């Protein structure tokens, strides 16, 4: 039995989680997220303090647990890059991971130089807090660019790699647990299921799976969906999603809860 499963009254040998992602797992006790630690009961506080690992602690508590040397799942490094495309890109570049040419522009003066580095069309993204294809724009002319810049955020600009589908490779722990294709809806450059993308269970090439696993390991991420496209005969990491959806699991008939129970039970995560 995995060492990180805790004994608790009425909940014998259960892992300890804060966020509700694993609330339906039989071998997990979910305590909820309280911004004031003193709001936890004495018993819950004891479970948290004594647990060798805390599951889904939130970015706030992951930071604190890391400071005190307590392991978390996902890792502290995973939480540092949640919905932060700027940090993700910097990590990809540091690690030499294949990624579209990308630059970040701050302030009016820098933003005025965007077209010195990029030719239309190119991609503009909301760099922090966006997901599910929202906050991603195909910029085809000066009017599109001006509208994007009105958002007031740093300009996260990326070369446009035309493709009608991409691959989502999900890494949990230190292994690929699922991989599938996402096919763009008609007349849309995005493949996200949330905007109408279609899931295909056609086999994802081994090279793409290997790239996703390499990227996750290199960046210290242990619960992530890596989005990859093929361009000019090579695989390119588009971005990482730490809050990925479960539609791909459902389409493949994979019981996500049963999978997580097993990974916890055998000590994989």
Please write the tens of the pLDDT for every residue from 24-42: 999 999 999 999 999 999 9
**Residue 188 placed within a domain:** yes
Of the candidates 117, 136, 118, which has an alpha carbon nearest to the alpha carbon of residue 126? 136
Give the whole-angstrom CA distance, residue 256 versus residue 247. Answer: 10
Taking residues 139-160, what's their average pLDDT?
95
Q: Which residues contact 138 (CB under 8 A, 6 or more apart)?
A: 121, 123, 144, 160, 189
CATH number at residue 150: 3.30.1490.20
Q: For position 131, what pLDDT does the model report? A: 60
Taking residues 16-23, what's their average pLDDT?
97
Are 238 and 190 within 8 A, CB to CB? no
> Do 155 and 172 share a domain, yes or no?
no
Where residue 2 falls among pLDDT bands split at 50, 70, 90?
low
Range of 205's domain? 165-265
Q: What is the pLDDT of residues 66-94, one digit of tens each?
A: 999 999 999 999 999 998 999 999 999 99
> Do 144 and 231 share a domain, yes or no?
no
Taking residues 18-28, what's their average pLDDT?
97
Give the whole-angstrom CA distance, residue 250 versus residue 230. Answer: 25
What's the whole-number average pLDDT of the chain? 93
> Do 153 and 169 share a domain, yes or no?
no
Q: For position 188, what pLDDT does the model report? A: 78
**Residue 90 placed within a domain:** no
Residue pointed to by tokens 């055998």: 266
What is the sign of the dihedral through the CA atoms of 156, 157, 159 and 161? positive
Strands 53-55 and 71-73: parallel
Question: Alpha helices of the chain — where are they, by DSSP H?
Answer: 42-50, 58-67, 76-80, 85-95, 107-111, 114-117, 142-149, 206-219, 247-252, 256-265
Q: How many domains does the chain have?
A: 3
Where residue 135 falls among pLDDT bands split at 50, 70, 90?
confident
**Residue 79 placed within a domain:** no
> Do 151 and 171 share a domain, yes or no?
no
> Do 148 and 193 share a domain, yes or no?
no
Pick from 22, 55, 73: which residue ends a domain? 73
> Do 52 and 69 share a domain, yes or no?
yes
**Residue 91 placed within a domain:** no
Higher pLDDT, 191 or 52: 52
Q: For position 15, what pLDDT does the model report? A: 97
> Do 217 and 175 share a domain, yes or no?
yes
Residue pointed to by tokens 């990974």: 263
Q: What is the pLDDT of residues 168-189, one digit of tens each?
A: 999 999 999 999 999 998 877 8
**Residue 81 placed within a domain:** no
> Do 36 and 64 share a domain, yes or no?
yes
Taking residues 142-169, what's their average pLDDT?
95
> Do 176 and 244 share a domain, yes or no?
yes
Where residue 190 falls among pLDDT bands split at 50, 70, 90?
confident
> Do 176 and 108 share a domain, yes or no?
no
Taking residues 94-117, what's their average pLDDT?
97
Pick from 115, 133, 159: which residue ends a domain? 159
pTM (two decimals): 0.90
Q: For position 44, what pLDDT does the model report? A: 97
**Residue 21 placed within a domain:** yes
Q: What is the pLDDT of residues 216-253, one digit of tens each?
A: 999 999 999 999 999 999 999 999 999 999 999 999 99
Q: For position 175, what pLDDT does the model report? A: 97
Is the omega angle on the peptide bond into residue 12 within 30 degrees of 0, that is, cis?
no
> Do 155 and 169 share a domain, yes or no?
no
**Residue 87 placed within a domain:** no
> Do 175 and 229 share a domain, yes or no?
yes
Stretch among 140-144, 157-161, 188-192 having the lowest mean pLDDT = 188-192
Q: Find residue 29's DSSP bridge partners.
A: 16
CATH number at residue 261: 3.30.470.20
């Amino acid at each position: 039995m995995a060492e990180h499963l805790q004994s608790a009254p009425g909940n014998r040998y259960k892992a300890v989680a804060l966020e509700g992602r694993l609330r339906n797992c039989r071998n997990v006790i979910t305590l909820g997220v309280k911004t004031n630690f003193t709001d936890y009961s004495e018993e819950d506080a004891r479970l948290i303090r004594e647990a060798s690992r805390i599951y889904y602690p939130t970015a706030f508590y992951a930071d604190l647990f890391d400071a005190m040397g307590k392991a978390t799942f996902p890792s502290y490094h995973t939480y540092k890059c949640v919905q932060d495309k700027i940090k993700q890109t910097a990590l990809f570049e540091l690690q030499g991971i294949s990624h579209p040419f990308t630059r970040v522009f701050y302030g009016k003066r820098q933003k005025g130089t965007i077209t010195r580095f990029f030719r239309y069309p190119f991609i503009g993204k909301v760099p922090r807090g966006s997901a599910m294809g929202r906050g991603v724009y195909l910029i085809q002319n000066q009017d599109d660019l001006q509208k994007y810049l009105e958002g007031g955020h740093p300009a996260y600009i990326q070369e446009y790699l035309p493709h009608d589908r991409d691959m989502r490779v999900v890494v949990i722990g230190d292994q690929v647990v699922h991989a599938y294709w996402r096919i763009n809806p008609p007349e849309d450059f995005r493949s996200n299921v949330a905007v109408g993308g279609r899931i295909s269970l056609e086999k994802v090439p081994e090279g793409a799976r290997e790239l996703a696993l390499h990227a996750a390991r290199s960046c210290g991420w242990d619960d992530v969906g890596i989005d990859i496209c093929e361009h000019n005969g090579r695989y390119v990491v588009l971005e990482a999603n730490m809050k990925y959806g479960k539609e791909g699991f459902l389409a493949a008939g994979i019981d996500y809860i049963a999978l997580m129970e097993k990974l916890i039970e055998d000590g994989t995560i």
